[in-house]
Amino acid sequence: SSGINAEYGGQDQQLHLTFMDVEQAKEALGGVVLEIQDLARNVVTGCTITTSLDEAFAGVDIAILIASVPHLKGMERADLLAANTKIFRATGEALERVAKRDIKVLVVANPCNTNALVTAKYAPSLSPTQFTGLSMLDHNRSVSQVAMKLGRRPAEVHNVTIWGNHSHTMYPDVTHAVISEDNGKLSYVSELVENEWTRGDLVKVIRGRANDIIGRRGMTTMSTGQAIADHLRDWVFGTPSEQHVSMAVPSTGEYGIPPGVFFSHPVKVSKEGKVEIVSGLQLNSFTHERLQESYRELRDEADLALKLAAQH
Give SS3 for 241. coil
The rounded distance, in Å, linking the Cα atoms of 180 and 172 is: 19
Rounded CA-CA distance 89/68 in Å is 12
Do 14 and 43 touch, CB atoms closer than 8 A?
A: yes
Compute the radius of gyration of the chain from its Cα atoms.
Answer: 19
Question: Dihedrals φ, ψ of 20, to 5°?
Answer: -125, 135
Catalytic-labelled residue, pool 71, 139, 158, 166:
166
Tell me how far apart the alpha carbons of residues 86 and 168 are, in angstroms, rounded to a whole number: 24
Q: Please tell me the distance from the alpha carbon of residue 302 to that of residue 248, in angstroms, as a whole number.
A: 14
Given a contact cutoff of 8 angstroms between Cβ atoms, the answer to whether 114 and 65 are in contact is: no
Is 283 in contact with 291 (CB distance < 8 Å)?
Answer: yes
Is 312 considered catalytic here?
no
112-121 and 285-311 helices, crossing angle to 10° = 50
Beta strands in the chain (DSSP E): 15-20, 44-50, 62-65, 104-107, 131-133, 157-158, 161-163, 171-173, 178-180, 186-188, 245-250, 262-269, 275-277
Active site residues per annotation: 166
